[in-house]
Structure 1
Amino acid sequence: MELPEDKAIEITTDYENQSINLRFSDNLTDDRERGYILSAAFFSFCASQGLSKDEIGDMVSSYYDEFSDNEN
């Protein structure tokens, strides 16, 4: 079985513009795959920090609107 090609996402901050920037490797073009990798990384980080499902749910409920409002 041949393994898929490795892919990368680079996350940087830009405090002057109050933004978080994402750079995807050239072979990472599928938005569903990008979302899967980002969400898996988020949940993995939360679990490693010992956050409960309730704490993660509260975090999403509290901050999702803040991020979605910035994209309009």
Structure 2
Amino acid sequence: YTGFYSEMVEYLQKSWEYSSFLPVGTVINWIDSFTGFFENVGDDLDADRLAKTSEWQDLMSWVISHSEVS
């Protein structure tokens, strides 16, 4: 892991408006992209470790709040 969780969140939030996927699909796409990155460097994505970070948890709360229909 690069350890730049805050920057990751910032860029994922910026990318949100450009996603052609529904909210759940967007998150799945992010995870698929992370998985591909780790495979390219010969490693495995530790999704549990990522999910336990406060930054990821805050991002998922942000996703939920931006997914609600007004």
| TM-score normalised to structure 2 length | 0.47
- With a CA cutoff of 8 Å and minimum separation of 6, indicate the structure with the bigger relative contact order: 2
Between Structure 1 and Structure 2, whose CA radius of gyration is higher? 1
- Higher-strand-fraction structure: 1
